[in-house]
Structure 1
Amino acid sequence: MSTNHDDHGFNLLDDPWIIALGIDGRERELSIVEVLEQAGDLATIGGEVATQAFAITRLLLAVVHRAVEGPTDADEWEQLWAAGELPVDRLRAYVEPLRDRFDLFHPETPFFQVAGLRTAKQEVSGLEKIVADVPNGQPLFTTRSAADLRRMEASEAARWLVHAHAFDPSGIKSGAVGDDTVKNGKGYPIGTGWSGQIGGVLPQGANLRETLLLNLVAYEDNPYVRIGGENDLPPWERDPNSAQWKERPPQGAIDLYTWQTRRIRLVGDQSGVTGVVLANGDRIQPHNRHDMDPHTCWRYSEPQSKKRKAVVYMPLTHDPQRSVWRGIGAMLPAISGRGIQRGSDPQPRLAPGILQWISDLGSKDLLPERYMPRLRILGAEYGAQSATFAEIIEDVLPMSVLVLRADRPAAGQTATNAVDDAEKTAFTVWNFAENIAQASGAEPKSGAGDRAREQLYAALDAPYREWLGSLVPGSDLQEARGRWQLVVSKATYPVTAELIVAAPPSAWVGREVSGQLVNVPRAELWLNAALRKALPLAYVRSGDSTSKEEVVV
């Protein structure tokens, strides 16, 4: 570790603050330089909450992009990938002249902060203002003690500082002196941090070196990183006096990776942080940033398009109530490609640019089709008016490059069709549960169907992930689809059998609903007919008779 830093400061280049998990399974705390030097021996970035990992990884990407001044194209990317380690000499050469800008407590240019930031009344907020694992700001619902929130180590404060810019909730902030938008001493809501407005999709490799390189988009092949432009810069390369309180357009991916959603000043020093001044920063609108931020899916917005009289895409955020695999079609370049239609029917979804990049690497034979990145899904759900954290979202979905390739869409289409199989079957199970409930006297949409449907999805969660991982070069996709439909059919049986066993005597007798008798036997007949239609490959037929291989539910 380098030690040529101010003993009274805390320099993020030298001092350990990033939580990383080693390939050996051990957790460690490292500086920026140490993380980049040891990236091949590290599995992933961690933190107090999963969204810290997303924010810090994107910060590291900004450092690497600027250090290598690219990569300019796929060929240069291939050289980095084949090297076996990150170009540490170039990384050191880049950060060394910027050393002061990485000092957390520098008197003039504190990292990710505004020196001298204050309110008219010199108020300082408690650390709960930037700590996301204190639900709704209520210490009662956290394992942290009151002492944990009175004082914090500089290393943890640095993690929450980066996280606040990326994910801070909306709501009223401290009114900073110099901000013309302040009214009555308050900074009124400008929205959440930029990363909180998107549904993060972060491909991960076998180690952190691979992860960083997988996400290092070459700027001649893609529009995101704009190394050639003078304005797509991280804050540590900008004039610190340029941080005003005026809305400005983002300049590219590096700008968005390090977007300063807030103006912040940590109160403390190397020995610990005791408070924070948290004010509004750079407001950002989410419309049509699909050519700048590659780490999210996008959805066509008809209301916004009508309002703005142009085709508008908005970030597609994650639904914490829905497993990520159920929305796989939106992520796959083979299904939701990046070619935007400007006509009467714009494409409903755009896959993340980062997955299109990996698809391109596969099509250029720079990544083998068998290579299997793990898609780490990260995001935040907010409460009322987006003023509090409601839930932190994290999921992981491994899939081969073959599934991601847009130029060879068959595997991606098979993966999406398999989700359709599950959706159709889930609706059939929902209908069956509702029929039994109504046969026993319940009103329509009693909730029985919802419970049964979610029970089936839960049963299919692990099997789908395992099945998706089996889609590799050489796979028989038709056989794979049939195998999946058989899995779905078998998973359906325990759910429907439980409904039958629990049905009261009145449901067996039944009652008239919408002009026809509904009871358990009839509902079961309708169920089996619907399942045959939804899962035809699970039913092997010979002539007009059902073979012994047919699955009966």
Structure 2
Amino acid sequence: MNSPTRPTFNLLHQPWIPVRPADGGPVREVGLRELLLRASEFGRIDDPSPLVTVALLRLSLALLHRALRGPKNAEQAAEWFQGDFPAEKLEEYFREWEDSFDLFHPEKPFWQLRGLTLELEGGKYRSHWTRLGTEVGSANTLPLFNVAGRPGGERVDSLTPAEAARRLVEGQTFLLGGLIQRFTTAAKAAPVATFALTAAQGQNLHKTLCLSLVGYAGQDDDQAVWEREPLTVEAVRLYHDDGRADVPRGRADRYTWPSRSVLLVPEEDENSAVRVTSIGFAAGIPLDGPPEGAGSNIDPMVTLRPPSNPKKPELFPLKLRREQLLWRDLSALLPDPQNDLRVAGKPGQEDFQRISGHPPGTLTHAREVLDYAGMGEQHLGVTVTGLLSKEGKAFAYRQESYALPSVFVSDAETFVTYVNRALDDAKGIGEALQKATARLATEVISRGGESALLKNPQEAKKTVDRLVQTLPGLGAFWAALETPFRVFLAELDAPQDARNRWQAAVSREARRAWEINLQGAGGDGQVLGFAYRPRRSDGKYQPSPQAILDRALKVINPAQEANT
């Protein structure tokens, strides 16, 4: 790894990417060359951090796109899926760009900014390596998430070159925006820093790469970061001084965008081994346009959804949310228009139009690849990874995995229809449960009358809202439905049977959740009386809380509810 004159660490050849062998052996590290040429021998990239894992996947896809100048379409990707990548093309590309993958190259260090030395401007740009790791010490990380950043917390003082390379790739992909005061006052976030990133999963790493290697035609001007002319301190500073921004030339450029100016500084320890403790760190190249891209340059891993506000019809990227798992938003990932938005007017009027969501290209592509490969009866694994943040601070990351049944490939229309119906079932019952709980809380607070509410309506409403928030039934309802929904997906090859079982599960969990709320509100005879008592207010009939839930359950499952 070390030469007599300077340290080197070539990412094509040196082991640094953790992989799980397909035969179930222990995780080991490989270089990029071995990763791609022997991808069928590995089950998956397997770093402890899902952020590092997906960042390494994006780097691998960018390298394949540039080396193979493809695939032209899903049909060519299917040929690779059933065979191998063209090894000669890969080897030729590796030879051409070998020097550009040296982590410590003096002129063009990989994905870094030459000249950003620790002595530059009196050490102004010096930082600790933890600035690169979202969960290990970045200034944009909450202490609850960042154990090492807590008072008295322990952190690793230095990294091996392999560890430093992984943190570099993670940081360039996921660092959040914020105050930096190096080239600029505030740096922008990496393009996909907080988006939910979707990747298709195959039976081994080779198939996973093919399934996520979305058609690459018409991107002749594209450049990966290692193909760019090496950036200099002067060039990056000009971007910020002049208020300019750059536009990604294509997908590989987007996958390897220089979000930060970084320079890893190698040092020798007492055993003459190369370590990285300090780094040069500053703002990177400002990105022009929406971070997820537009037109044919939309990031294939990103899902775009229509907004709820018809006055702002721009699509927005899907993000993972703290309060709910992704399965409740699964329709956003589906290959047909979802969540259409009425922009203006009413159906039948000339000014009525709809804006459709944009599903992740990786998922649509994977379905087409399996279809071309004649594997329409195969289940498809999907992972969705994202960094969760609030007010510029990261507080968690999450990776969710789903197995989509063969009907997703063989009959997408049926799959979409039944998934949407299932989610509508759960949403409708969830809303009824929430409404019934609010009515119950109102009855409990007013003790069955209106006088307490009429004396101070605003204070009464706050008291009712507080009681509703303390009742755990709705949260329990959604939590209990995750496993039945996964079962529903697995059984969708027989869609009507799967839906019947799903509706039974929704009804069962709704009644359990309602019982939890009744007990939480007191559980005595008086509370039960409130639950079953209708009310006439201002001359209008209001159904009892129990009736609100019962009516909703009869809509989704009339046969079962008739026997309840």
Fold similarity call, TM over 0.5: yes
Q: Which moved more, 1:292-301 or 1:144-153?
A: 144-153
Determine the structure 2 residue equivalent to 1:223.
none
How far apart are the structure 2 equivalents of 1:29 and 1:290?
A: 37
Q: What amino acid maps onto 2:355 in structure 1?
A: Q
How far apart are the structure 1 equivalents of 2:4 and 2:536?
A: 79
Q: Cα gap change, 1:304/1:482 in structure 2, threshold over 3 Å: closer, same or farther?
A: closer
Q: SS at 1:456's partner residue?
A: helix
Question: What TM-score, normalized by structure 2, do the two folds share?
Answer: 0.81
1:358–1:401 Cα contact (<8 Å) kept = no
Q: SS at 1:374's partner residue?
A: strand
Q: Cα gap change, 1:46/1:444 in structure 2, threshold over 3 Å: closer, same or farther?
A: same
Determine the structure 2 residue equivalent to 1:296.
302
Aligned-pair CA distance for 1:257: 0.9
Among 270, 277, 281, which residue is 1:278 paired with?
A: 281
1:380 equivalent to 2:387? Answer: yes
Among 200, 210, 213, which residue is 1:203 paired with?
A: 200
Determine the structure 2 residue equivalent to 1:122.
123
How far apart are the structure 1 equivalents of 2:4 and 2:356?
A: 51
2:302–2:318 Cα contact (<8 Å) kept = yes
Q: Cα gap change, 1:424/1:339 in structure 2, threshold over 3 Å: closer, same or farther?
A: closer
Q: Cα gap change, 1:344/1:188 in structure 2, threshold over 3 Å: closer, same or farther?
A: farther
Question: What TM-score, normalized by structure 1, do the two folds share?
Answer: 0.83
How far apart are the structure 2 equivalents of 1:324 and 1:516?
A: 42
2:340–2:356 Cα contact (<8 Å) kept = no
1:128-155 CA deviation, whole Å, 9 max, x = no partner? 2112113655778645597744211111
Q: SS at 1:72's partner residue?
A: coil
Determine the structure 2 residue equivalent to 1:36.
36
Determine the structure 2 residue equivalent to 1:267.
265
Q: What amino acid maps onto 1:154 in structure 2?
A: P
1:420-457 CA deviation, whole Å, 9 max, x = no partner? 11111112222233333333227433353673222111
Q: SS at 2:7's partner residue?
A: coil
How far apart are the structure 2 equivalents of 1:444 and 1:338?
A: 34
How far apart are the structure 2 equivalents of 1:128 and 1:134?
A: 6
Q: Which moved more, 1:497-506 or 1:508-517?
A: 508-517
Aligned-pair CA distance for 1:40: 1.6
Among 463, 467, 486, which residue is 2:488 paired with?
A: 467
1:360 equivalent to 2:365? Answer: no
1:193-225 CA deviation, whole Å, 9 max, x = no partner? 1121432111111111111000112234xxxxx
Percent of matched pairs sharing the same residue: 25
1:428 equivalent to 2:432? Answer: yes
Aligned-pair CA distance for 1:126: 1.4
1:383–1:389 Cα contact (<8 Å) kept = yes
Aligned-pair CA distance for 1:529: 2.4
Q: Cα gap change, 1:523/1:165 in structure 2, threshold over 3 Å: closer, same or farther?
A: same
Among 489, 511, 536, which residue is 1:493 paired with?
A: 511
1:345 equivalent to 2:371? Answer: no
How far apart are the structure 2 equivalents of 1:470 and 1:166?
A: 36
Among 223, 227, 236, which residue is 1:233 paired with?
A: 223
How far apart are the structure 2 equivalents of 1:314 and 1:333?
A: 17
Among 438, 455, 478, which residue is 2:496 paired with?
A: 478
Aligned-pair CA distance for 1:237: 1.2
Aligned-pair CA distance for 1:413: 1.2
How far apart are the structure 1 equivalents of 2:173 and 2:111?
A: 11
2:200–2:366 Cα contact (<8 Å) kept = no
Determine the structure 2 residue equivalent to 1:179.
none
Q: Cα gap change, 1:5/1:55 in structure 2, threshold over 3 Å: closer, same or farther?
A: farther
Alignment of 1:58-137 (within 5 A): 58-83=58-83, 85-118=84-117, 119-123=120-124, 124-134=126-136, 136-137=140-141
Listed as ranges, the gaps of 5+ residues in structure 1 are 176-181, 221-225, 540-545
2:112–2:263 Cα contact (<8 Å) kept = yes
Aligned-pair CA distance for 1:494: 2.3
Report how many aligned residue pairs link the two structures.
509
Aligned-pair CA distance for 1:466: 1.8
Determine the structure 1 residue equivalent to 2:167.
160
Alignment of 1:169-248 (within 5 A): 169-175=176-182, 182=183, 187-220=184-217, 226-227=218-219, 229-230=220-221, 232-241=222-231, 244=236, 245=239, 246-248=244-246
Pairwise CA RMSD of aligned residues?
A: 3.3
2:223–2:252 Cα contact (<8 Å) kept = yes
Aligned-pair CA distance for 1:75: 3.4
1:506-553 CA deviation, whole Å, 9 max, x = no partner? 423438977299xxx9433432222112333644xxxxxx4xxx3x2x
1:335-365 CA deviation, whole Å, 9 max, x = no partner? 4399999975342421112222233335x54
Aligned-pair CA distance for 1:392: 1.0
